[in-house]
Amino acid sequence: MEMIERDGRLTELRGRTGLMVEQLGRLVEVETPSEDLAACAGGAHVLSQLGKEILGEPAEFVESGGRTHLRWRWPARAGGATVALIGHFDTVWPLGTLARWPFTVDGAAGTATGPGCFDMKAGIIQLLHAVSVLEDRSGVEILLTCDEEIGSQSSRPLIEELARRSAAALIPEGSGHGALKTGRKGTGMYRLEVTGRAAHAGLEPEKGANALLALAHLLLAVDALARPDLGSTITPTLSAAGSAGNTVPAHAYAELDVRVASREEAERVDGALRGLRTAVPGTSLAVTGGPHRPPLPATSGAQLFERARVLAERLGLAPLRDIVVGGASDGNFTAAVGCPTLDGLGAVGDGAHAEGEYVSVADLPDRAALLAHLIADLLDNQPAAQSRQ
CATH classification at residue 222 = 3.30.70.360
Total count of domains within the chain:
2
pLDDT of residue 7: 83
- Could you tell me if 57 and 178 lie in one domain? yes
In a domain, 388, yes or no: no
In a domain, 66, yes or no: yes
CA 162 vs. chain centroid, Å, equals 17
φ, ψ of residue 164 in degrees (nearest 5): -65, -25
The amino acid at 141: E
φ, ψ of residue 243 in degrees (nearest 5): -130, -20
3-class DSSP string for 188-199: EEEEEEEECECC
pLDDT of residue 2: 52
Q: What is the greatest pairwise CA distance in the chain?
A: 84
Each residue's pLDDT tens digit, 131-162: 999 999 999 999 999 999 999 999 999 999 99
- Could you tell me if 112 and 208 lie in one domain? no
Total-model pTM? 0.90
- Could you tell me if 213 and 267 lie in one domain? yes
- Could you tell me if 178 and 141 lie in one domain? yes
- Could you tell me if 225 and 79 lie in one domain? no
The amino acid at 48: S
Each residue's pLDDT tens digit, 196-211: 999 999 999 999 999 9
In a domain, 70, yes or no: yes
- DSSP per-residue string spanning 35-84: T-HHHHHHHHHHHHHHHHHHHSSPPEEEEETTEEEEEEE-PPPTTB--EE
Last residue of a domain, one of 256, 291, 326: 291
Cα separation of 157 and 67, whole Å? Answer: 13
Strand ranges across the sheet with 251-260: 233-241, 251-260, 186-195, 284-291
pLDDT over 90 (residue 81)? yes
In a domain, 304, yes or no: yes
For residue 84, the SS3 value is strand
pLDDT of residue 153: 93
pLDDT over 80 (residue 389)? no
- Could you tell me if 22 and 37 lie in one domain? yes
- Could you tell me if 41 and 144 lie in one domain? yes
Last residue of a domain, one of 291, 325, 357: 291
Cα separation of 248 and 9, whole Å? Answer: 67
pLDDT of residue 1: 47
The domain of 226 spans 186-291
**Cβ contacts of residue 233 below 8 Å, gap of 6+?**
226, 257, 258, 259, 326
Query: For the chain, what is the mean pLDDT?
Result: 95
In a domain, 3, yes or no: no
Cα separation of 25 and 323, whole Å? Answer: 29
- Could you tell me if 177 and 103 lie in one domain? yes
φ, ψ of residue 275 in degrees (nearest 5): -90, 0
**Domain containing residue 123: CATH number:** 3.40.630.10
In a domain, 307, yes or no: yes
pLDDT over 90 (residue 241)? yes
